Amino acid sequence: MRCGKMAAPAAAGAPGGWGGVRRRCQRLLYWVPVLFISSILCWSYYAYVTQLCLLTMTNIGEKVVCLVAYHIFFMLFVWSYWKTIFTLPMNPSKEFHLSYSDKESLEREPRGESQQEVLRRAAKDLPIYTRTMSGAIRYCDRCHLVKPDRCHHCSVCDKCILKMDHHCPWVNNCVGFSNYKFFLLFLAYSLVYCLFIAATDLQYFIKFWTNGLPDTQAKFHIMFLFFAAAMFSVSLSSLFGYHCWLVSKNKSTLEVFRAPIFRHRTDKNGFSLGFSKNLRQVFGDEKKYWLLPVFSSLGDGCSFPTCLVNQDPEQASTPGGLNSTSKNENHLFPAKLLRDSQSHLLTDTPSWSETSANSEKDKVGMNNPALTMENET
């Protein structure tokens, strides 16, 4: 009997223990793509520096120039890749989390006006202007918080990520507000790295096919080095070009597939402030930091300036007869509560006025339409 009683708790604990082992194995598997990229990078270093430059190149000047330029690109590539991987995604600040009493109210009250009132009360002083498809405040029932604009819940990280772009398996991390600049630089420097290798390796690759190289081990490294560099250059150029377009339009990958929904309507260019300001939101105001993988993005990731009306050339007209000179107080995009670090982005925008910003600040949360709680991931 004693043995039976002892076995019961062990059996009860077995599923939990197995679940922990499974989660640890899953986390290890997530690092496989990173290890794959790292192994290719290590091999390319050996093949280029040792086999191509030191053992194959005979011109001393060419050898020195290639080694110096290669190590510069290699350092920037590794630095930006490292920062993209190990920069923790930023999560919403405490002000967006529901209080203990509000969480109890949501759990206790049936779905309906009572829950709507809880969410209205929690969100009335928060700088949020995007909604769900049904017009509800975006609420995460896993993190128990009101989602800031452009924030989404990552199913892999099981967290809400500020300005989430996507979860990238090649860096085993979420790409969002905290590391989007690093991700762009990683794409840029990896593309430059591959193009440089392909360009400087081309003449020796041609010699390989014309039997101009001695039949040594370096011969095969040179051949595969060119193929790998050319192949990655093609894929990286398309991906980097796509993200450059996203930056120019101030969009995320998620917002391309599902446009942000504001209080009055959906607008795919609602966060676009023009090319220059869109670029500065990601890279910052100080140009000396633009090409370095150091954080210089503007804002706090929780609030973003928007255009009052749609001024994007792709959507020249706006519904209801509203345009950039409209004096109607019911703007499509209300003036936002801006963090101090972002407000200067709009100082030279004619359609923004301090009067409308101050009046909207007093009305935040007071004129929301009837909302229904909708969980959105």
Pair of tokens at residue 128: 């949020």
d(CA 206, CA 212): 8
Is 42 noted as a catalytic residue in this protein? Answer: no
Neighbours of 201 (CB within 10 A): 25
CA–CA dist 210, 273 (Å, integer): 55
Nearest to 319, CA basis, from 261, 266, 275: 266
Question: Which of 53, 143, 168, 194 is the catalytic position?
Answer: 168
Contact of 249 with 259, CB cutoff 8 Å = no
Residues designated catalytic: 168
